[in-house]
């Protein structure tokens, strides 16, 4: 299972704290208010899939206030969605320049860099994200960092990051799943089982986790438990690639 790095638009809503604390003139306040309105509209259109309208509103927001971090972040998400990686990179970078210590900004930029295979740069951004004492969800950045290390072929570093995420949020589903997978690859089946059971207890089953559970129990020699995972996979995800993989690896 390879979960996508988190880039929820909900994170973007919390970026208002990036605004400068310095006194602002009435005209600059008016421009910022107008920019905020257009970003809110742009984000709504983006969530609705109305991308042209979203782009129009976000461009207007930046005309009102080119230094508004939220506008750069949301328009970067839009450009990424329409596969304009160059413009997406420009706006993620600009947001980070405007708010270099902000956790959410650095996390989002790091996620973008990782999706584009720039693993070392991404690691620096995730480290910056978790160093922000006011960042409300550092476990997300640690999880993203772990996922990025996995994609970069560094499972030991990934394991460290996932464990840090779980220290902060023991119910972080993605970190639980990935730790189970890493330990399974190390043939540490008992500890892999423990993490997968914690994942399963969250009530977010998916085909990857059921296939992993089957592999773990098979590794432990527990045919009955392995069979139960196989039954659930066939029942809950009958048309999934994971079910096909199960059937191809299970003796008839």
Please give, one letter per residue, the 3-state secondary structure of 130-146.
HCCCCCCCHHHHHHHHH
Q: How confident is the model at residue 9 (pLDDT cuts 50, 70, 90)?
A: very low
Question: What DSSP string runs through 27-71?
Answer: HHHHHHHHHHHHHHHHHHHHHTT-HHHHHHHHHHHHHH-TT-HHH
Question: What Cα–Cα distance (Å) separates residue 166 from each residue in 19, 123, 138, 142?
Answer: 31, 18, 10, 9
> Within a 13 Å sphere around the CA of 192, how many CA atoms are in the beta-carbon half?
23
Model pTM score: 0.87
d(CA 53, CA 87) in angstroms, rounded, equals: 17
Q: How confident is the model at residue 28 (pLDDT cuts 50, 70, 90)?
A: confident
Average pLDDT over residues 143-152: 96
pLDDT for residue 249: 83
d(CA 114, CA 145) in angstroms, rounded, equals: 9
Phi, psi (rounded to 5 degrees) for 5: -70, 140
| Multiple choice CATH, 172-252, 1.25.40.10, 3.40.50.360, 3.20.20.120, 2.10.70.10 | 1.25.40.10
- Burial class for 133, CB neighbours closer than 10 Å (0-12, 13-18, 19+): exposed
């Amino acid at each position: 299972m390879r979960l996508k790095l988190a880039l929820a638009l909900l994170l973007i809503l919390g970026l208002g704290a990036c605004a400068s604390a310095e006194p602002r003139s009435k005209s600059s306040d008016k421009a910022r208010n107008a920019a905020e309105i257009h970003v809110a509209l742009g984000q709504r259109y983006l969530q609705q899939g109305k991308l042209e309208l979203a782009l129009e509103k976000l461009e207007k927001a930046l005309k009102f206030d080119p230094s508004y971090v939220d506008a750069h972040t949301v328009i970067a998400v839009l450009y990424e969605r329409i596969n304009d990686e160059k413009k997406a990179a420009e706006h993620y970078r600009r947001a980070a320049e405007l708010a270099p210590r902000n956790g959410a900004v650095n996390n989002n930029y790091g996620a973008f860099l990782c999706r584009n295979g720039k693993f070392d740069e991404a690691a620096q951004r995730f480290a910056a994200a978790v160093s922000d004492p006011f960042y409300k969800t550092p476990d997300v950045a640690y999880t993203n960092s772990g996922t990025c290390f996995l994609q970069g072929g560094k499972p030991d570093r990934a394991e460290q990051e996932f464990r840090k995420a779980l220290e902060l949020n023991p119910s972080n589903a993605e970190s639980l799943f990935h730790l189970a997978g890493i330990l399974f690859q190390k043939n540490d089946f008992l500890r892999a089982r423990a993490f997968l059971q914690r994942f399963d207890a969250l009530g977010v089953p998916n085909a990857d986790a059921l296939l992993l559970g089957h592999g773990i129990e098979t590794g432990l020699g527990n045919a009955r438990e392995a069979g139960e995972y196989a039954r659930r996979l066939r029942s809950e995800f009958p048309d999934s690639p994971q079910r096909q993989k199960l059937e191809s690896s299970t003796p008839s």
